[in-house]
A = this chain, B = another copy of it.
């Protein structure tokens, strides 16, 4: 296969409510990413969006964004993996360039969650016939995992607070973060509103609007576009049993483990080579379990990495370096593209105040549903 690199990025600030339409937001970041790569044409566009069928009454978004961006005639397709949708779009663009079907491809993600009530729509990531029918939502399933986890491992009540504290701290230096002006303390997290027992407001990522995009090119040609490209060392997807209740061990994210192992083999790196990890901290319990599934902590001890602030910028495994899903925001279809942009900035030394010390390898994981589909990407310079 042909190696693939990121040669351009584009992102707009995450907001509670964006005044632009999804097509405008999508086209804007596509143009920003193309401008960053200094190209005026791409061969293909792969779009990630999870909720527009219901919230905007719109399907067929990829072609709509291509049209709005003036990219008439190109390939344009929509790709999805529920709440991991943005990473699915990135993977498809990667496959298009790796297979030599496209010489330049843009992966774009856009989500406008502010139109209507997104929670029941997001719940469609679960099993309609056997979960949603019983009143389950993605929040309630994560709450179930958090309850189980605390009971089984005896994690203290304040085990998870630092995920939010760290995310909000890092977000303050990210101009695109939703919560760039909102530092939170451990006490505020612990006393925040109970959303779905035991998940509190600060254990969960916010409902918001956003869009981001990256331009991919063959690594061999990357220098023609930019001096600061980032290589995509691996892209992998694994699924678990669809429902938590069917899993042998609901507290171990098997798909995250399998997907990460596949990616490590492909990238020829060890987990200890990873300088930072943009993970799917949609809920603090999910962040905890991903750290465990990948092997950064033993089962039941992922939260200790937060408690001891080893997830901070100067910790042993920094996460959410620009605020993560928790504080940059989690506009679903766009989230992984924001992460890819942030990783590109970190690896090219342009991450601003939150710049890590010369990182060379980064990992990203995205989660569809309650741990059902996990998409892993590894990037390097």
Interface residues of A (CB under 8 A from B): 1-2, 21, 44, 50, 53-54, 56-60, 62-64, 66-68, 71-82, 88, 91-92, 95-96, 98-101, 121, 124-129, 132, 235-243, 246, 254-255, 258, 368-369, 372-373
Beyond contacts A50-B59, A58-B127, A77-B80: 19 other A-B pairs, Cβ-Cβ < 8 A, are A21-B129, A56-B128, A57-B132, A58-B129, A59-B80, A59-B125, A60-B368, A60-B369, A63-B372, A63-B373, A67-B243, A67-B246, A72-B241, A73-B258, A75-B236, A75-B239, A77-B88, A77-B92, A95-B99
What residues of chain B lie closer than 8 Å to A59, measured between beta carbons?
50, 80, 82, 124-125
Instruction: Knowing A1-B101, A54-B53, A99-B98 are in contact, say whether A64-B127 is a contact too (CB < 8 A).
Output: yes
Q: How far is the CA of A241 from the CA of B129 in the complex (A)?
A: 39
Instruction: Knowing A53-B54, A235-B101 are in contact, say whether A60-B372 is a contact too (CB < 8 A).
Output: yes
Q: How far is the CA of A63 from the CA of B64 in the complex (A)?
A: 26
Copies in the complex: 2
Q: How far is the CA of A72 from the CA of B258 in the complex (A)?
A: 11
What residues of chain B lie closer than 8 Å to A373, measured between beta carbons?
60, 62-63, 76-77
Q: Which single member of B50, B77, B99, B368 contacts A81 (CB below 8 Å)?
A: B77
Closest to A74 in B: B239
Q: Which single member of B57, B128, B240, B254 contacts A128 (CB below 8 Å)?
A: B57
Q: How far is the CA of A237 from the CA of B125 in the complex (A)?
A: 28
Q: How far is the CA of A63 from the CA of B81 in the complex (A)?
A: 8
What residues of chain B lie closer than 8 Å to A241, measured between beta carbons?
67, 72
Instruction: Knowing A80-B77, A132-B57 are in contact, say whether A63-B95 is a contact too (CB < 8 A).
Output: no
Q: How far is the CA of A368 from the CA of B78 in the complex (A)?
A: 11
What residues of chain B lie closer than 8 Å to A79, measured between beta carbons?
77-80, 92
What 9 pairs across the A-B complex have the smallest Cβ distances?
A99-B99, A75-B237, A60-B82, A67-B242, A98-B99, A78-B80, A59-B124, A95-B95, A58-B128
Please determine whether A74 and B369 come into contact, CB atoms closer than 8 angstroms. no
Q: How far is the CA of A242 from the CA of B61 in the complex (A)?
A: 10
Please determine whether A74 and B238 come into contact, CB atoms closer than 8 angstroms. yes
Give chain B nearest CB distance to A2 CB in angstroms: 8
Q: Which single member of B76, B81, B246 contacts A62 (CB below 8 Å)?
A: B81
